[in-house]
Amino acid sequence: MELAGVEPPPSVTIIDDDPEDREDLMDLLRDHGIEPRPVNDRYGQDIDRLVADILAIGSSFVICDYRLQPKNFASFSGSKVVRRLGMSKQPAMLLTMYQSNNRLELRQERADMPVVVSRRDFEVERLGDYAEICRREFSDNPIDQRRPHRSLIAIRDIRNNHGPTELDVVIPNWRPDESIILPELCLAPGVTTGLEVGDYLLGDVNVGAEDEDDLFFRNVNEVIKACEISDL
Amino acid sequence: MSEVIVFDVAHGNCCLIRSQNAHAVIDAPCKALLLNTLEDMRITCVDVAFISHADKDHIAGVIGLLTSESIELKKLYLNPDSQKDTRIWRQLRAALKVAERQGKCEVILSLTTVMPGIVSVGEVDVRVEAPSNSFAAGGSGSTDERGRRITSNSISAVLRVTTGEHPGLLLAGDIDEVGLDDALENGRDLTARTLVFPHHGGLPASSDATSFVETIMRAVTPSLVIFSNGRGKHDNPRPEIVGPVARTGCGIACTQMAHACNQSVIFKREHLEPHRAQGQEHGASCAGSMTIDLSGDGRRLASKHSAHQKFIDDAVETPMCRPAPPETDGPDVSQ
Amino acid sequence: MTDHLKFSPDILRRLGEELVPAIDQGIVELVKNAYDADATTCEIALVGLASGKGSISILDNGTGMTGKQIRRGWLVIGRSEKNKNSLTPKYNRVPVGDKGLGRLAALRLGDRVTLTTRPAAEPGKQYSLVLDWLQYENAELVEDVELAIKEADTDRPQGTEIRIENIGDRVSRGTVSKLARSLLLLSDPFARFGEQLEENKPKRNSSESDSDPGFSASLLTEEFNDLQAKVSQSYFNDAEYRIQAEVDDKGSAVFRILDWKGDVLHQAPADEAFDAPPFTFDLWAYILNSESFSTRTSTVSEVRNWLSELGGVHVYEDGIRVPPYGGADNDWLELNLRRARSPEGRPSTNTSVGRVKVTNIGGSLVQKTDRIGYVENFAFTELKRACVEALNWAARILLKERDRKREAEKQSKKEKAEKATKNLERVLNRTVKPTERRRVDSAIRSYVEQTEKEADSLREELELYRSLATAGMTSAVFAHEIGRPLKLIDSGIKGLMRLIPAEQQDAAGKRVERIQTSRDRLSSFVSIPLRLLSKSKRRTGKVDINAAIGSLVTMLEPVSAYYETVIEFVPSEDGLFFNGTEALLDGILLNLVLNSFNAFQRESFEQEKRRIKIETWSDTTSIVIRVEDNAGGIDGVGIEDIWLPGVTTVADGTGFGLTIVRDSIKDLNGTIHADALSDFGGARFTISLRPMRELFAK
């Protein structure tokens, strides 16, 4: 890939509510000669203060755990933090659970988070790449896997038995044989009414993504009704 | 300056013709490689695209091209395939609807020797050498004169790409022996300096692999054969195909490295062209994406070709493209 | 001079009243004496109860007593049954009455008792005796009160009448209806309905005795007539099936399932012998829905009423009922619990009626002193076990049967659907104009789609249940396997520490400690499914609620510590018990506590000091368990919707937690109430359970 071999950052700020995990990550970074800078405080709902604290520390990269609530570090998710840091062009990544089960929660926010890695796949050696991915995105030149293209989204099923509506969709230009779940929340508000199985949506999707969890959806705001499609 | 880039798109086919600011795309599988490449080349308009036949490893990327907002596609040639009421075909129709809304694409539902016969892209002529009108009209599902079944692969379009009198490139799609025979019986000229071998070097459906290779090699007489294959998928190209091709003495270049050639992936990039290659990141590319010079001798740039050959010599353990060393009569027992 | 042990009259009151607290059972004891006197009828009259001076009379047509019999028998209080084998002279009945304390309790109901008896042995003679309890109150010793047995001539037929006067307000209406029930059920009402089990009658040497014409006791009140009308109706033929167990005198048993006609559908010998006296157990099971009654003459509600009067599984010892088995609220075979655990093929007390007919000639079954139930000795336990085994066997058979039926139904439904489609097609072709056909077709298609959608959502729910069950089982299976890797981590750490040079032990120690902490957390997480699925937890019995909750809270400690949450448990001062399984209780509490953990972690909710409080106490009628947290309460979903399956406020949640809680509590015959926001600062769930009945609280 175009990124191979970017030098790791000299220092990394760590946000993790679990002291064991945090210490472990810090040791790991030290082993690689990277200075870890933990944030130790409780933030409740005050995301502004946390973001300000992180920016004040001034590391060139930030690793943020997804779940900040279990140990009462904060009452918001790490994804919110990473997105806020992105707005300030602060390179940051989200670290998810060992075996990610928040695929659907993250799908809605994935567009604004350049790097999301599960604990299992996390490699210190790639920290330089992770930071570079963020910088490329901030300078409007995202890597191939993160580049959005206007894409067709075929609706295979619509489910709303309980809770929020979910669609089963196929993105022909990504994997024509694989259907994935798309929460209705990823769709623009206007297009959801009257949607039927067999219809198509049009939206910006990073069809270069390797993994389903890396897909993001933006501007899903056009519908092609099944009946509009003419024979060839 | 006219050239064709044969992209490493893993299992599938995708070519881009560039000539005097005109651009053409022939087939494209899924994912973003073609779109990202076009965007980086600042190509905002593709004059014409061809879909050789109705398989998703040839269509899916064209769907992306049709819906793209940054790139305009002006004209699309394809043969309707009655046998293929597949999902991908419906999805293509939906994408055409999108293009129609954006008012940007003319669709011509014929890609035969008669219609359009020949399409110009800048200085480049794209000649349709197969299928013939009558053969395509029968469509897949029918049988040919010898009673053989005509499949979607049989009616795959074969395009010969040339500039002026220079020797060119033959894009054979997924054509099988039935379609090939039709072209040859109609006296089509298939000769080309470089051949993108049909069906990614997979086995032909019913005929003997060796005789299929002999037929096509005799008809094309290439000096370079390209296999557009994906490492791991379908195990292409097959040794039954590569063997006979190699024995003709012509050069061979695969976009990706088959398992049979090397058990593990190889992360080397010095020999690769600067264009995107799907296998590069995973160490799966062999020749990767390849540029064929249509203004010159219809082959790869010599330096690139020799860099690739050196890579094979140095790094690939059991390359299928190298003819097997002459067999010895057992161990030397003279001592 | 010889001395005697002498008794104060106080002893009479204490013996009678304290040992036999139920008045109706006292009277029934007198009726049983009539049975033992070979009577065929016995009438009980209650006179002037409302006046405050009412009286009870018990009149039978038995063999009566001679003066000597009165003196040697009737007046001797508390002689226990020596020999069950000595049958009554005329009808060879096994004596069932109690000559002792039960009778005393009944006799002491009023101020004064008059006994009048005309012995069969001395036709034309009548003996009478008056017991004036007021005299005893005033006497110093029991023996000081003199009694006179009067003798007179009579032309009235044989029999005995006992009249208890001035009973005051000691007999309430409730007692009367209980008495009516007891009397009705006293002599096997099942026997009257000509069922085909007569060959199973205990063998007796009945050659020289008359055949027993039967015995009936009646209460001369309105209530009794109503009740009798209800009970005497027979709906046995409306049963869906009958489960039967027959245990012979060698203890070997045969289990059967019979249809309503009494034909055997399934039969199998029991795998093992039972050390119980010979008996037959029958359980008639009903399906109380209008569909299964559509072809019958009786109605569902008739049968339902009848079942609720007749109650559960009654025990008849030699033709006479042994209370309280099968009485109101007595589910001694735990039919309801078994049904709650696996509803298929399991009747409940509301949908079945049963009888155990036991021959107790050997006397291995011993009735308790208060005449309510058997002493739970080995013989009785074995009898119970045989009945339970029969039920289990039948449930297995019925389940299999049902499965087969379901499969067959599926097949026939498919065929029917195909046929219906063809039929529709034909009709449409004939009746709809080709021009209209498109519209009709599309209307039909959209109708079919809608119906299918509905079916789909049900199927989805079922699939979710299935996958949850599978997940539960799988996690338990793998939890068992976790021990080995945990052990390996332990020994691995020790080994590594030995390899680390002394000067680096400190730095390494910190990392090792972390591994150790993680290992402990892992092991505590993993123990949760193991605990839930452990067999002993699923065994039904007396559950000590406080102990169970206490150990659950202890088990959760590492988890609650991880979530920075304090779980306070405030148990009641007295012990609380219910009859059920610990697993059910664990499931209820775990679901509630996990909900709290989730609630604390809601986006943009803040709680500095996370607390969960579990309290137990008992009020007059029930056991109360309360679980509350300070996680801000229930929002985003209506309080009445929280119980619905699939309703969840947590992404990726199954929404089944509270549904399971509700269903579990229903199984325990309890109730649960939810408050969206309590003073404690969050959701509050209040559970009321019925306490364990005294009878089973051993």
C391-417: pLDDT as tens digits: 989 988 888 888 788 778 878 888 888
From residue C623, how far is each of B328, C96, C672 by CA, in Å? 92, 39, 12
Verify whether the Cβ–Cβ distance B60 to A173 is below 8 Å. Answer: yes
Q: Are residues A178 and A134 in the same domain?
A: no
- Closest partner CB to A162 (pick from C563, C604, C655): C655
Which residue is it, tokens 């290659």?
B277
Residue B333: the pLDDT is: 41
- 8 Å CB contact between B271 and B304: yes
- Please determine, for residue A5, whether its predicted confidence score (pLDDT) is greater than 90: no
Region C110-131: what's the mean pLDDT?
Answer: 91
Verify whether the Cβ–Cβ distance B36 to A176 is below 8 Å. Answer: no
Cis before C213 (ω within 30) = no
Average pLDDT of chain A?
Answer: 91
- 8 Å CB contact between B87 and B128: no
C276-287: pLDDT as tens digits: 899 999 998 888
ipTM surpassing 0.85: yes
What tokens does B296 get?
A: 């010159």
Chain C residues whose CB is inside 8 A of the A77 CB are: 603
A206 reaches B (C-beta below 8 A): yes
- Closest partner CB to A173 (pick from B64, B80, B87): B64
- Please determine, for residue A101, whether its predicted confidence score (pLDDT) is greater than 60: no
Surface of A (43-102) touching C: CB under 8 A: 44-45, 67, 69-72, 75-77, 101-102
- 8 Å CB contact between A2 and C493: no
Chain B residues whose CB is inside 8 A of the A175 CB are: 30
C679 reaches A (C-beta below 8 A): no
Q: Are residues A98 and A127 in the same domain?
A: yes
Spatial CB neighbours of C102, under 8 Å, sequence gap ≥ 6: C20, C25, C26, C29, C370, C371
Report the range of poorest mean pLDDT among A52-66, B164-178, C16-30, C444-458.
C16-30
CA-based nearest residue in chain B for residue A230? B93
Residue C166: the pLDDT is: 85
Region C303-310: what's the mean pLDDT?
Answer: 79
Q: How far apart are CA C208 and CA C328, in angstroms?
A: 40
Region C600-617: what's the mean pLDDT?
Answer: 91
Number of domain units in chain A: 2
C624-669: pLDDT as tens digits: 999 999 999 988 777 877 887 666 666 556 677 888 898 888 888 8
- 8 Å CB contact between B214 and B250: no
Q: Are residues A73 and A124 in the same domain?
A: yes
What tokens does B181 get?
A: 């025979």
For residue B172, the 8-state DSSP code is: -
B48, B53, B57, B58 alpha-carbon torsion, rounded to 10°: -10
Average pLDDT of chain C?
Answer: 82
**What architecture (CATH level 2) is domain C1-232?**
2-Layer Sandwich (3.30)
- Closest partner CB to C517 (pick from A20, A159, A162): A20
Verify whether the Cβ–Cβ distance A232 to B96 is below 8 Å. Answer: yes
Between C154 and C221, where is the model more confident?
C154
Report the range of poorest mean pLDDT among B54-68, B148-162, B170-184, C201-215.
C201-215
Residue C209: the pLDDT is: 52
Instruction: Count chain A–chain B contacts defined by CB atoms under 8 A.
Output: 94
- Please determine, for residue C117, whether its predicted confidence score (pLDDT) is greater than 50: yes
Q: Are residues A152 and A196 in the same domain?
A: yes
* CATH code of A153's domain: 2.40.50
The shortest C-alpha distance from B40 to chain A (Å) reads 10
Verify whether the Cβ–Cβ distance B68 to A230 is below 8 Å. Answer: no
Domain final residue, candidates A111, A143, A175? A143
CATH number of C234-402, picked from 3.30.230, 3.40.190, 3.30.450, 3.40.50: 3.30.230
C207 pLDDT tier (thresholds 50, 70, 90): very low
C604 reaches A (C-beta below 8 A): yes
Q: How far apart are CA C205 and CA B31, in angstroms?
A: 96
Domain span holding position A173:
148-227
Q: How far apart are CA A152 and CA A205, in angstroms?
A: 9
Verify whether the Cβ–Cβ distance B60 to A200 is below 8 Å. Answer: no
Q: Which CATH superfamily is domain C538-696 in?
A: Histidine kinase-like ATPase, C-terminal domain (3.30.565.10)
- 8 Å CB contact between B182 and B129: no
Q: Report DSSP letters for chain A, one per residue.
A: -TTTTPPPPSEEEEE-S-HHHHHHHHHHHHHTT-EEEE--S--BT-HHHHHHHHHHH--SEEEEES--TTTTSBSS-HHHHHHHHHHTT--EEEEE-SS---HHHHHTTGGG-S-EEETTT--GGGHHHHHHHHHHHHTT---GGG--EEEEEEEEEEE-SSSS-EEEEE-TTT-TT-EEEEEGGGS-GGGGTT--TT-EEEEEE-TT-SSGGG--EEEEEEEE-GGGPPP-
Cis before A70 (ω within 30) = no
- Please determine, for residue C195, whether its predicted confidence score (pLDDT) is greater than 50: no
Closest CA to A59 of A83, A32, A39: A39
From residue A66, how far is each of A86, A90, A230, C326, C407 by CA, in Å? 15, 17, 46, 59, 48
Between A42 and C28, where is the model more confident?
A42
Report the residue of A152, A173, A211, A216 to disrupt the B interface, i.e. the one with the largest count of B CBs within 10 Å.
A173
- Please determine, for residue B17, whether its predicted confidence score (pLDDT) is greater than 80: yes
Which residue is it, tokens 């790097």?
A115
φ/ψ of C160, rounded to 5, equals: -135, 140
- Closest partner CB to B67 (pick from A151, A176, A228): A151
- Closest partner CB to A207 (pick from B31, B39, B56): B31
Q: Are residues A28 and A103 in the same domain?
A: yes
What tokens does B84 get?
A: 């293929």
Verify whether the Cβ–Cβ distance A105 to C600 is below 8 Å. Answer: no
Spatial CB neighbours of A2, under 8 Å, sequence gap ≥ 6: A143, A144
- Closest partner CB to C563 (pick from A70, A77, A162): A70
CATH number of B2-315, picked from 3.50.50.60, 3.60.15.10, 3.40.50.300, 3.30.43.10: 3.60.15.10
Between B80 and C678, where is the model more confident?
C678
Residue C441: the pLDDT is: 84
Q: Give me the sign of the Cα torsion angle B322, B326, B329, B332.
A: negative
Residue C203: the pLDDT is: 41
C312 pLDDT tier (thresholds 50, 70, 90): confident
φ/ψ of C469, rounded to 5, equals: -60, -45
Sorted by where each begins, the domain ranges of chain B are 2-315
Residue C652: the pLDDT is: 58
What tokens does A194 get?
A: 């009257």
- Please determine, for residue A34, whether its predicted confidence score (pLDDT) is greater than 70: yes
Interchain touch C–B (≥3 Cβ pairs closer than 8 Å): no
Residue C438: the pLDDT is: 83
How many CB atoms are located within 10 Å of the residue C17 CB?
Answer: 16
Q: Are residues A193 and A135 in the same domain?
A: no
- Please determine, for residue B330, whether its predicted confidence score (pLDDT) is greater than 50: no
Q: How far apart are CA C286 and CA C242, in angstroms?
A: 9
B332 pLDDT tier (thresholds 50, 70, 90): very low
CA-based nearest residue in chain A for residue B98? A224
The shortest C-alpha distance from C478 to chain A (Å) reads 17
* CATH code of A108's domain: 3.40.50.2300
Q: What SS3 state is found at C508?
A: helix
Q: How far apart are CA B247 and CA C418, in angstroms?
A: 60
Residue A63 domain flag: yes
Report the residue of C604, C605, C659 to disrupt the A interface, i.e. the one with the largest count of A CBs within 10 Å.
C604
Sorted by where each begins, the domain ranges of chain C are 1-232, 234-402, 538-696
Which neighbouring-strand residues pair with B277? Answer: B8
Spatial CB neighbours of B42, under 8 Å, sequence gap ≥ 6: none
- 8 Å CB contact between B236 and B229: yes
A69 sits in the region (left: phi over 0; alpha: psi -120 to 50; else beta) called alpha
Between C79 and A89, where is the model more confident?
A89
* Buried-state track C379-413, b at ≥16 Cβ within 10 A, e below 16: bbebbbebbbbbbebbbebbeeeeeeeeeeeeeee
Which residue is it, tokens 């005299």?
C135
C249 pLDDT tier (thresholds 50, 70, 90): confident
Helices (H), chain B: 33-40, 56-67, 87-101, 133-138, 177-185, 209-220, 239-247, 302-315
Verify whether the Cβ–Cβ distance C603 to A76 is below 8 Å. Answer: yes
Pairing status of strand B75-78 against strand B106-108: parallel
Q: Are residues A96 and A124 in the same domain?
A: yes
Closest CA to C241 of C78, C145, C353, C137: C353
> What is the largest distance, in Å, between two alpha-carbon atoms of chain C?
124
Residue A84 domain flag: yes
Q: How far apart are CA C567 and CA C589, in angstroms?
A: 12
- Closest partner CB to A163 (pick from C511, C600, C648): C648
Q: How far apart are CA B189 and CA B162, in angstroms?
A: 12
C154 reaches A (C-beta below 8 A): no
- Please determine, for residue B335, whether its predicted confidence score (pLDDT) is greater than 50: no
Verify whether the Cβ–Cβ distance C564 to A71 is below 8 Å. Answer: yes
- CA C212: distance to chain centroid? 34
C226-247: pLDDT as tens digits: 777 766 667 787 888 899 999 9
Closest CA to C479 of C553, C532, C434: C532
Q: How far apart are CA C480 and CA B177, in angstroms?
A: 60
Q: In what order do the strands lie in the sheet with A166-170?
A: A179-183, A166-170, A149-159, A200-205, A217-224
Amino acid identity, position C344: E
- Please determine, for residue C95, whether its predicted confidence score (pLDDT) is greater than 80: no
Q: What percent of chain C has pLDDT over 70?
A: 88
Region C344-368: what's the mean pLDDT?
Answer: 83
A146-197: pLDDT as tens digits: 999 999 999 999 987 666 788 999 999 999 989 999 999 999 988 988 899 9
B62 pLDDT tier (thresholds 50, 70, 90): very high
- Please determine, for residue C544, whether its predicted confidence score (pLDDT) is greater than 60: yes
Residue C531: the pLDDT is: 76
Report the range of poorest mean pLDDT among A65-74, B134-143, C417-426, C530-539.
C530-539
Region B209-237: what's the mean pLDDT?
Answer: 93
From residue B112, how far is each of B115, B167, B173, B187 by CA, in Å? 5, 22, 13, 14
Report the range of poorest mean pLDDT among A42-56, B13-27, C394-408.
C394-408
Region B34-44: what's the mean pLDDT?
Answer: 96
Surface of A (101-120) touching C: CB under 8 A: 101-102, 104-105
Q: How far apart are CA C23 and CA C28, in angstroms?
A: 9
Q: What is the CA radius of gyration of chain A?
A: 19
Q: How far apart are CA C637 and CA C648, in angstroms?
A: 8
Q: What percent of chain B has pLDDT over 90?
A: 76
Domain final residue, candidates A143, A171, A195? A143
- 8 Å CB contact between B51 and B81: no
φ/ψ of B294, rounded to 5, equals: -85, -15
Q: Are residues A164 and A87 in the same domain?
A: no
The shortest C-alpha distance from C649 to chain A (Å) reads 8
Asked if the domains C1-232 and C538-696 are classified in one and the same CATH topology, the answer is: yes
Amino acid identity, position A81: V
CA-based nearest residue in chain B for residue A206? B32
Residue A2 domain flag: no
The shortest C-alpha distance from C556 to chain A (Å) reads 15
Q: Are residues A78 and A157 in the same domain?
A: no
Residue C16: the pLDDT is: 65
Q: Are residues A169 and A68 in the same domain?
A: no
Residue B237: the pLDDT is: 95
Q: How far apart are CA C593 and CA C557, in angstroms?
A: 12
The shortest C-alpha distance from A175 to chain B (Å) reads 6
With contact defined as 3+ CB pairs under 8 Å, the chains touching A are B, C
Domain final residue, candidates A116, A143, A170? A143
From residue A94, how far is each of A2, A130, C650 by CA, in Å? 22, 10, 21
- Please determine, for residue C697, whether its predicted confidence score (pLDDT) is greater than 70: no
Residue A64: the pLDDT is: 97
Report the range of poorest mean pLDDT among A39-53, C456-470, C605-619.
C456-470
Show the CA angle centred on residue C101, arms to residues C96 and C107, nearest 5°: 100
Cis before C324 (ω within 30) = yes
Long-range contacts of A19-23 (CB under 8 A, 24+ apart): A19/A71, A20/C514, A20/C517, A20/C518, A21/A65, A23/C510, A23/C514
The model's pTM is 0.63
Q: What percent of chain A has pLDDT over 90?
A: 72
Verify whether the Cβ–Cβ distance C606 to A104 is below 8 Å. Answer: no
The shortest C-alpha distance from C608 to chain A (Å) reads 7
